[in-house]
Amino acid sequence: MAAPPTTQQLQQWFSSIDTDRTGTITAAELQRAMGLGGLQFSLMACAQMVRLHDRDGNGNISFPEFSSLHMQLTEIRTAFSAAAQGGDSISGEQVAQLVAQQGYRIEPPALQALSKSFDPDRNGRFGLPEYTMLSLFLMSAKQIFGAFDPQASRPAAGTHGAGGHSGRVSLDFSQFVYASAQTR
Ligand SMILES: [Ca+2]
Ligand SMILES: [Ca+2]
């Protein structure tokens, strides 16, 4: 496995992506940089990447936030490459294995629906962009779910859920719309 990049390297990448020199990276700047790297993502997809790592909530990516985004994208790419073994796509079964390896427990019907929605041409194969989007979606879903989980912020007194999560949420329609909107 390649050595992790040095802070200096990361800083150079950050500066090269920050084309308008604002000291922050927007979704559009990220989209352009990924495109140059041969990965075509929609602006919406890049906005989701920004949102997932925008810890201070100012709508764009600072250098520390970029470091965590970069680490996440590297982890996704490493898992993908190991499964693809030199190829440029992986099967639905491999996606299911990777998802399980990351600790997600998802029932088969949900897993099938998940795969279908990230395989628009329905050929049962997932390239790196598709697998990345699927991973980001799951991460967002976990984050949003956790935010609505009533036990999330309390100690696990009397519950068996991991980290105090009850593992169940109850949403009204507005909350459902809010939650869905955050995952795309
Ligand atoms: Ca910028
Ligand atoms: Ca930010």
Ligand 2 centroid to Cα of residue 30, in Å, is: 13
Q: What is the pLDDT of residues 95-105, one digit of tens each?
A: 999 999 999 99
pTM above 0.75, yes or no: yes
CA angle 83, 38, 98 (to 5 degrees): 20
Q: Where are the domains of the chain?
A: 7-156+165-182
Expressed in angstroms and rounded, the spacing between residue 99 Cα and the centre of ligand 2 is: 28
Q: Is 176 helix (H, G, I), strand (E, B) or coil?
A: helix
Ligand 1 center–CA 28 separation, angstroms: 9
* pLDDT one-digit tens code per residue, 41-77: 999 999 999 999 999 999 999 999 999 999 999 999 9
Angle (deg, nearest 10), helices 43-53 and 128-148: 50
Q: What is the CATH number of domain 7-156+165-182?
A: 1.10.238.10
